[in-house]
């Protein structure tokens, strides 16, 4: 059995909205520097404003990259977890200490989530409404993993 669990169209659409917001923030920052917005003002306030924009851009970029890059690759009995800004982790089914699925609800959004615990108590969470092949991963874990918490 071979498949990849990665972001779906909904996660990509959400990421595109975040990218548009980043581009708007960059545009506003460029406008502020090119116009006379900063003339005659408080330098401390201007520095705080610029740092806030830069912080928002960095955090938003981090969220987008993590959402798009994170994936699980299943190759028979070998599982590869790739996370952005972390090292790639390869394991077999026996290396999974436990996994569980639970329903989650945040405001009006209801979804199911699989949590896989592996290695040195590292956890990887997968939401069903943000990834492709969620059901295939759940079936694979149910068939091949021994430990499951209900």
pLDDT value at 34 more than 80: no
DSSP state of 148: B
d(CA 70, CA 124): 10
pLDDT of the residue at 93: 87
Confidence of residue 2 (pLDDT cuts 50, 70, 90): confident
Q: DSSP string covering 100-115, please?
A: EEEEEEETTEEEEEEE
User: Once rounded to an integer, what is the mean pLDDT over residues 22-49?
Assistant: 78
Domain ranges across the chain: 7-68, 71-144
**Sheet bearing 96-106, strands edge to edge:** 96-106, 109-118, 122-127
Q: What is the pLDDT of residues 92-150, one digit of tens each?
A: 888 888 898 888 888 888 889 999 888 888 888 898 888 899 999 999 988 888 766 65
pTM above 0.85, yes or no: no
- Report residue 94 as tokens: 């026996």
CATH topology for 71-144 is PH-domain like (2.30.29)
**Sheet bearing 2-5, strands edge to edge:** 2-5, 71-75, 78-82, 89-92
Pick 109 or 37 by higher pLDDT: 109
Segment among 3-12, 31-40, 66-75 with least mean pLDDT: 31-40
Residues paired with residue 79 on neighbouring β-strands, in sequence order: 74, 91
């Amino acid at each position: 059995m071979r498949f990849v669990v990665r972001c779906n169209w909904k996660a990509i659409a959400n990421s595109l909205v975040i990218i548009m917001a980043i581009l708007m923030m960059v545009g506003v920052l460029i406008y502020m520097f090119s116009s006379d917005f900063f003339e005659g003002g408080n330098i401390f306030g201007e520095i705080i404003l610029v740092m806030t924009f830069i912080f928002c851009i960095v955090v938003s970029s981090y969220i987008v990259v993590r959402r798009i890059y994170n994936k699980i690759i299943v190759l028979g009995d070998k599982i590869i977890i790739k996370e952005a800004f972390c090292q790639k982790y390869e394991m077999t089914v026996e290396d999974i200490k436990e996994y569980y699925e639970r329903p989650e609800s945040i405001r009006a959004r209801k979804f199911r989530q699989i949590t896989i615990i592996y290695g040195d108590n590292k956890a990887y969470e997968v939401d069903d409404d943000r990834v492709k092949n969620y059901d295939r991963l759940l079936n694979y874990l149910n068939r091949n993993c021994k430990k499951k918490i209900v």
